[in-house]
Chain A
Amino acid sequence: MNRINPRKALLGIAAPVLALLVAFLITSLLLVLFGDPVGEVWKTILSWPRPRQLVQIINEATVLYLSAIAVAVGFRMNIFNIGVDGQYRVAAFAGALFAGQAWFPGPLNVLLTLIVAMAAGGFWAWIAAYLKVKRGVSEVISTIMLNAIATGVVQWLLLKVAVKQPGSNTISTEPIPESSQLEGLALIPGATNKVYTLIVLAVAVGFAYWFVLGKTRFGFDLRATGQSESAAVASGVKVPRMVVTTIVASGALAGLIGMPLLFGQDHSYGTTFQAGLGFAGIGIALLGRNHPIGIGLAALLWAFLNIQSNALQIQAGVATEVVNIIQGTIIFAVVVAYELIRRADVRLEQQRVARELANAGQGTPAQEGAPA
């Protein structure tokens, strides 16, 4: 399984390319049906971004990458954490609240906030883990519910702690002190804005994900449980404990999603904090096939589409939501394509085995059909 198989590699690339083509065709068809300017839409989306927009794409991808990795950790064990959305909002609020107190100086404040956010996200996910292990509640149901509860809880707490600015109608937590705000990295020449400093966090998380899942005993147990629970039990894996650990780890990673936004852009948690990142992560993890690099590419594609869509209303006179259609079609198409390619792969493999068997077993008749 570990050897690189050229056929597998080719089929692996074929699926996303196929999905993109299908998405392109279906979206074009819809645009034509609704009488929107197809050419203008694609010209706007596919035009090369300005330096400023390149930075935005990288920043958006950073956040989406963290979200998708959080989802992927669960996927690898066949656990479906839809609660990433609620977990990251709870964690971003807790982190912003903690950082805003300025109990610690500069970078130490940043570091401790990351830990607080991971703890908050992990705790929110643990509720679902507890319900699954002790009460047999499907994590799909409980995490959806917990998303709604997160909305209410964060809203209620935000009202309690919000600082008010005279004349303003937006509310937020106390802004984090300037010494803890991360100014960003000037990676793209000619851009007025900067790449989030915490892109290093995303890279570190991606590396840790690859290492822990691929190279450690824990990662092996996790994947084994996902592939076959009974086999995992037989080889001595304590499945309930693995379930709790995995869900909590997924939630803790979800806790990091809001951190680049908090330190690099918003500097507080409030009514204008970006929403819906957890759901985007599900699609990106699927598209990236839970692979650390695949997810990175998928996150970049998603971010590219999101940022390029900003110009749609102004340049092409078409609603930004066209991009949601493209993204939705990509997800559906890619799942179908992966399945088709998996079947093709199985068929090719069966043919190969059959051929080899036929060659090897020329003299001996099939053992099974023998008895009367």
Chain B
Amino acid sequence: MKEHPLRHATKLAAVIATAALGLSACGSSDPDPGTTTGSTGTNTAAAGEKLVVGIAYGVGGRGDQSFNASAAVGLDKAKAELGAEFKEATQVNGEAQSATEERLQQFVDAGATHVIGVGFAYAKAIGKVAKDNPDVAFAIVDDASPDSTAPNVANLVFAEEQGSFLVGAAAALKSKTNTVGFVGGVGVDLIKKFEAGYKAGAEAGKAGTVVKSQYLSQPPDFSGFNDPAKGKTAAEGLFQGGADVVYHAAGGSGSGVFTAAKAANGLAIGVDSDQALTAAPDVRDIILTSMVKKVDVAVFDFLKNGSEGTDLTGVKTYDLKAGGVDYATTGGNVDDIKAKLDELKAQIVAGTITVPTK
């Protein structure tokens, strides 16, 4: 019997509809259920307020080895030192605004006293949920826009340009070709800040150093933060164009930059975490330094203040002076220029050098 065409279409439709669901399930990572419930408060160190923390990670979650992972480090420290209890959840790619808000609201329903949104994608949701729950303290990492502004919100932002300035100087001092490269994940203001600091730093390290930049994607496409293949291609182009040191501010795409640097006998500079410790072992030796962005410090700071009953509010900038950003010395690749870098660092802290942000 010849099959009726309509039924054939139905089967095809079922396969595609199911595949779409399956793919979206594969695309997001497991939120690591093993660590979802916090301590029961056996070591309540401070006599202060009992902390119940809800932390909402960006896409990638606790296991991204970079930005979200850094926030998790701060949280784990708060658990150990402040006896904070916590619940965690991770954002799903492409979810509705209402689902983002609901995640934060559910933390509050579950009794959270402090709610943290990790990443600028939470800006609007934090602003709205904070207004609905004036008795709960909120914090957002990487956003200080009017979207997330409320009396009970702490906007935890970083002076990435200052840290980038230092690694820019390091790159220029180490470059033999007087040409250095920059790979940005996504062309948003946040990443342009890294680039601006890096450029100024390269000029300060060695006047006349050429900086070549490459972005992996443009918003609303945020794939540039998580696409090692793109990172590799972009870095290969920069190395072929004469650069011998490449700095990446591209999150998960950075591993591709490291691979390219290794193949080109060049050097790479890591970002957010001390990547000479977190990157794949075979590329660690080509990591000159890393621009460390201490999200963990900011998260812990927010919770520590909370435990003392004085919640942080408003824009809180973590700069070189506050120890929020820095360059890493792991591996000893910058030992010979450390004196020069520390001199620049002192000048930034003292305010004699002002690093541009765009």
Mask for B130-146, Cβ within 8 A of A = 1, else 0?
00100000000011111
Interface positions of A from 70 to 125, Cβ below 8 Å from B: 75, 78, 80, 82
Known: A272-B97, A310-B106. A158 touches B37 (CB 8 A): no
Does chain A have a CB within 8 A of B124?
Answer: yes
Q: Which residues on B sit within 8 Å (CB–CB) of A167?
A: 143-146, 189
Does chain B have a CB within 8 A of A286?
Answer: yes
Q: Which residues on B sit within 8 Å (CB–CB) of A306?
A: 99
Q: Which residues on A sit within 8 Å (CB–CB) of B31?
A: 313, 317, 319
Residue of A155, A227, A273, A313 near B36 (CB, 8 A) is: A313
Interface majority SS (helix, strand, loop, mixed), chain A: helix
Does chain B have a CB within 8 A of A201?
Answer: no
Does chain A have a CB within 8 A of B20?
Answer: yes
A314 B110 Cβ-Cβ under 8 A? yes
Q: Which residues on B sit within 8 Å (CB–CB) of A165?
A: 145-147
B16 A282 Cβ-Cβ under 8 A? yes
Residue of A140, A226, A332 near B18 (CB, 8 A) is: A332
Binds A, one of B4-12, B206-214, B253-261, B272-280: B4-12
Does chain B have a CB within 8 A of A307?
Answer: yes
B176 to nearest A CB, angstroms?
Answer: 35
**Docked pose: A82 CA to B9 CA in angstroms:** 11
Binds A, one of B70-78, B84-92, B303-311, B335-343: B84-92
Residue of B13, B146, B188 near A286 (CB, 8 A) is: B13
A274 B218 Cβ-Cβ under 8 A? no
**Docked pose: A325 CA to B28 CA in angstroms:** 13
Q: Which residues on A sit within 8 Å (CB–CB) of B105?
A: 52
B33 A319 Cβ-Cβ under 8 A? yes
Q: Which residues on B sit within 8 Å (CB–CB) of A320?
A: 28, 92
B36 A317 Cβ-Cβ under 8 A? yes
B38 to nearest A CB, angstroms?
Answer: 11
B187 to nearest A CB, angstroms?
Answer: 8
Chain B residue with Cβ nearest A322 = B25
Chain B residue with Cβ nearest A270 = B220
Interface positions of A from 302 to 318, Cβ below 8 Å from B: 306-307, 310-311, 313-315, 317-318
Q: Which residues on A sit within 8 Å (CB–CB) of B109?
A: 50
**Docked pose: A66 CA to B190 CA in angstroms:** 37
Interface positions of A from 172 to 195, Cβ below 8 Å from B: 192-193
Q: Which residues on A sit within 8 Å (CB–CB) of B87?
A: 314
Known: A165-B146, A271-B222, A325-B25. A279 touches B120 (CB 8 A): no
**Docked pose: A339 CA to B97 CA in angstroms:** 38
Chain A residue with Cβ nearest B145 = A168
A166 B145 Cβ-Cβ under 8 A? yes
Q: Which residues on B sit within 8 Å (CB–CB) of A331?
A: 14, 17-18, 21
Mask for A236-279, Cβ within 8 A of B = 1, else 0?
00000000000000000000000001000110001111111001
Known: A159-B218, A319-B30. A274 touches B5 (CB 8 A): no
Residue of B16, B33, B94, B142 near A274 (CB, 8 A) is: B94
B37 A317 Cβ-Cβ under 8 A? yes
Q: Which residues on A sit within 8 Å (CB–CB) of B143?
A: 167-169
B22 A324 Cβ-Cβ under 8 A? yes
Q: Which residues on B sit within 8 Å (CB–CB) of A192?
A: 132
B12 A80 Cβ-Cβ under 8 A? yes
Residue of A80, A164, A321 near B24 (CB, 8 A) is: A321
A155 B220 Cβ-Cβ under 8 A? yes
Chain B residue with Cβ nearest A162 = B219
**Docked pose: A140 CA to B16 CA in angstroms:** 10
**Docked pose: A265 CA to B25 CA in angstroms:** 26
A171 B17 Cβ-Cβ under 8 A? no
Does chain B have a CB within 8 A of A327?
Answer: yes
Does chain B have a CB within 8 A of A328?
Answer: yes
Mask for B212-247, Cβ within 8 A of A = 1, else 0?
000000111110000000000000000000000000
Chain A residue with Cβ nearest B8 = A78
**Docked pose: A354 CA to B106 CA in angstroms:** 61
17 A-B contacts, Cβ less than 8 Å apart?
A56-B102, A80-B13, A151-B221, A159-B219, A167-B145, A167-B146, A169-B123, A169-B143, A171-B220, A226-B6, A272-B121, A272-B124, A282-B16, A283-B14, A314-B89, A320-B92, A331-B14
A interface residues (Cβ-Cβ under 8 A, vs B): 36, 50, 52-53, 56, 59-60, 75, 78, 80, 82, 140, 151, 154-155, 158-159, 162, 164-171, 192-193, 226-227, 261, 265-266, 270-276, 279-280, 282-283, 285-286, 306-307, 310-311, 313-315, 317-321, 324-325, 327-328, 331-332, 335, 338-339
